[in-house]
């Protein structure tokens, strides 16, 4: 299988790239918007077999900065910011040059200080005198002159280009200190270059003590801090660019050094000039001749069974990268090992290092293996057989059958338990398999000897018998085979007895190992000698027992004589007697003896003896702290009332105006467990 590719070669001369500045478009000396441009030769086509090509890149003179950029990430530029440089490329690449030009107009007034101390402001103090008259001895002073050595005995004798004037100062120790400031007119969106020359005029060369400057535009610090060189009178130029955001800009040079000794400097040639950007590009088209002409796809076999592995490869003399396409998949490999599941076309695309391609294809026929199933009963009974047949899809008369028992027929007979398998082979050699297990179940003839108790039924295996005898039942086993059960049944008798009895409440009755205290029916199941239940029933009656508790209260010296008691002391007493039902009944007496006494005579003559109606032990024993005392005369009129007697003065004391005679009293005492109500008489005498 061969395919051919036509090769076309492109050959072009290669030369360096040059740019020409269009002088007619350079900006004028005003602040008006001007344009600048560069021109470039035509694109270049290079025909080569080399994998890497080196090209020269050359820009015109006169730009402030250059930047070369490549469209292809594989390109390597030796020095992207150089005017003249080289680059290596592997494929067609476009290079873009960005050239930045400085317009000649300086927007700063008196930036070279030739007009003296004018056109700017500063936070330093102006002192133009020479060092013999004070000069720049003081920190924070400056002047504009030709030689720093004329204004400080320790300053270096420093002149600038052309021996012109420059700004010289003795610095301060505060950061962000404005040493020079001016406001200029700008154009919003335009880019400007802020530049100054600076020099160290102090004898110190310690880098930590040298002046450190930073540009500021509209009070925003610009760029990084730059430090003067330590060499005396070594002028250097520093600059930074900014984009104008307003129509005017306050531009500053600030000193960031905080050292006292050595922080002495000179400034000159300060300028702000607009930048103009021009771009141009050139493309190098890389063309390589083809070295691949044809591809011949080879395969071990193009008709195969599903799941069979085959090998495909390129057997032509052409070399390159082999890209295989099959189904929805693809792979890059010299040799393809494939196990196709369906018929399909496989395509080989051979690509050389120059991108040239050749293609060849092969169709693979994949045969479905035969699908085999086994039909027939796989469960048989003892002394029978089953016929098993092989069913094959798709149908064909060319299949070869191979059973595990050695038969080559499409059907076989099986009469025993066995694992059966079959392999069916197509003419192409594709195979299908199936297997099954044949189980032979036995026939059952079982004899059952069962003993029951009277009243029970035997219901297992389909029987329903409750009398002594022999029974037979035929059935189909769980495996579907005929079987029989023979039942020899013996039925033994059972016994039942009932006892009627009674007990008194709170007593217990022992019945076959258990004690019962409640009225009811109780059953004891025992076994007779032949193992059948013997039932004893207890009908138990409960006779009532009476229990009562009496709470009583008497005064000291009295006796409680009710319900068979005769008690005169505080305590709990029990009296038991037999009731009419023969059961003991109990009466509990909770007796409280109150040790208080009531007088019956009061002599109201103020002699301090028996002048007060005092209830003895009421206060001493703290008895009945809640109480009421009421005194009535013989006509029933209340003459005294006191609630909650708690001290001696609360008792009734008849005075000289109280008539003699008999009075009646009533005392009510309250306690948590009872209330007493006691009445009596008392005679008042003199």
CA distances (Å), origin 438, targets 12, 325, 411, 423, 434: 84, 48, 14, 17, 13
pLDDT less than 70: residues of the chain: 1-35, 40-41, 291-293
> Percentage of the chain with pLDDT > 90?
33
**Range 120-129 contact pairs with CB under 8 angstroms and sequence separation of 24 or more:** 120/180, 120/181, 120/182, 121/178, 121/181, 121/182, 122/178, 122/179, 122/180, 122/181, 123/172, 123/177, 123/178, 123/179, 124/169, 124/172, 124/179
Provide the pLDDT for residue 326: 87
Residue 200 preceded by cis peptide, ω within 30? no
Bin 148: left if φ > 0, else alpha if -120 < ψ < 50, else beta: alpha
Q: Which two tokens mark 119?
A: 């056109």
Sheet holding 411-414, edge to edge: 371-375, 386-393, 411-414
Task: Give which of 564, 643, 653, 551 is closest to 594, Cα–Cα.
Answer: 551
Find the Cα–Cα–Cα–Cα dihedral 322, 325, 329, 330, rounded to 10°. Answer: 20
Q: Are 228 and 204 in contact (CB under 8 A)?
A: no
Question: What is the pLDDT, as a whole number, of residue 41?
Answer: 64
Per-residue pLDDT at 666: 94
């Amino acid at each position: 299988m061969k395919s051919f590719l036509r090769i076309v070669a492109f050959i072009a001369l290669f030369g360096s790239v040059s740019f020409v500045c269009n002088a007619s478009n350079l900006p004028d000396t005003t602040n008006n918007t001007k344009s600048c441009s560069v021109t470039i030769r035509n694109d270049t086509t290079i025909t080569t077999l080399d994998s890497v090509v080196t090209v020269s890149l050359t820009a015109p003179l006169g730009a402030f900065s250059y930047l070369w950029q490549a469209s292809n990430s594989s390109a390597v530029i030796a020095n992207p910011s150089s005017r003249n440089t080289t680059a290596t490329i592997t494929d067609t690449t476009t290079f873009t040059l960005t050239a930045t030009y400085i317009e000649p107009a300086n927007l700063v007034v008196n930036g070279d200080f030739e007009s003296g101390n004018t056109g700017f402001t500063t936070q330093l103090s102006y002192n133009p005198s020479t060092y013999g008259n004070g000069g720049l001895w003081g920190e924070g002073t400056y002047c504009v002159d030709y030689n720093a050595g004329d204004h400080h005995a320790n300053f270096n004798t420093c002149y600038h280009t052309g021996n012109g004037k420059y700004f010289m100062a003795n610095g301060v120790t505060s950061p962000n200190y404005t040493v020079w400031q001016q406001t200029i007119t700008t154009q919003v969106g335009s880019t400007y270059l802020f530049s100054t020359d600076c020099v160290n005029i102090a004898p110190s060369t310690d880098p930590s003590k040298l002046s450190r400057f930073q540009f500021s535009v509209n009070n925003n610090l610009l760029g990084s801090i730059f430090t003067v060189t330590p060499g005396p009178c070594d002028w250097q130029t520093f600059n930074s660019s900014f984009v104008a955001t307003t129509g005017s800009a306050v531009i500053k040079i600030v000193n960031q050094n905080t050292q006292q000794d050595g922080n002495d400097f000179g400034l000159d040639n300060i300028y702000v000039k607009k930048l103009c950007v021009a771009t141009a590009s050139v493309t190098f088209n890389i063309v390589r001749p083809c070295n691949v002409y044809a591809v011949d796809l080879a395969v071990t076999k193009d008709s195969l069974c599903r799941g069979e592995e085959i090998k495909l490869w390129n057997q032509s003399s052409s070399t390159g990268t082999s890209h295989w396409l099959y189904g929805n998949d693809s792979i890059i490999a010299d040799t393809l090992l494939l196990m196709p599941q369906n018929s399909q076309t496989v395509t080989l695309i051979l690509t050389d290092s120059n991108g040239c391609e050749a293609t060849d294809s092969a169709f693979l026929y994949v045969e479905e293996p035969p699908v085999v199933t086994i039909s027939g009963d796989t469960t048989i009974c003892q002394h029978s057989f089953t016929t098993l047949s092989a069913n094959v899809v798709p149908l064909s008369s060319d299949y070869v059958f191979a059973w595990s028992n050695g038969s080559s027929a499409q059907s076989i007979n099986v009469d025993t338990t066995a694992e059966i398998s079959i392999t069916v082979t197509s003419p192409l050699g594709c195979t299908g398999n199936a297997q099954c297990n044949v189980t032979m179940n036995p026939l059952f003839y079982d004899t059952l000897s069962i003993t029951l108790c009277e009243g029970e039924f035997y219901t297992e295996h389909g029987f329903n018998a409750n009398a002594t005898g022999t029974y037979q039942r035929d059935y189909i086993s769980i495996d579907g085979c005929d079987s029989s059960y023979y039942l020899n049944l013996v039925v033994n008798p059972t016994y039942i007895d009932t006892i009627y009895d009674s007990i008194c409440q709170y007593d217990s009755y022992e019945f076959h190992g258990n004690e019962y205290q409640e009225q009811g029916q109780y059953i004891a199941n025992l076994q007779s000698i032949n193992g059948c239940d013997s039932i004893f029933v207890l009908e138990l009656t409960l006779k009532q027992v009476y229990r009562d508790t009496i709470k009583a209260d008497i005064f000291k010296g009295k006796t409680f004589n009710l319900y068979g008691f005769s008690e005169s002391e505080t305590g709990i007493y029990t009296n038991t007697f037999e009731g009419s039902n023969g059961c003991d009944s109990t009466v509990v007496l909770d007796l409280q003896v109150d040790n208080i006494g009531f007088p019956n005579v009061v002599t109201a003559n103020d002699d301090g003896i028996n002048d007060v109606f005092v209830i003895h032990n009421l206060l001493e024993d703290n008895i009945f702290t809640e109480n009421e005392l009421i005194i009535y005369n013989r006509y029933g009129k209340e003459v005294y009332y006191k609630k909650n007697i708690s001290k001696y003065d609360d008792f009734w004391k008849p005075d000289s105006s109280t008539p003699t005679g008999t009075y009646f009293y009533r005392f009510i005492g309250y306690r948590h467990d009872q209330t007493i109500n006691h009445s009596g008489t008392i005679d008042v005498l003199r």
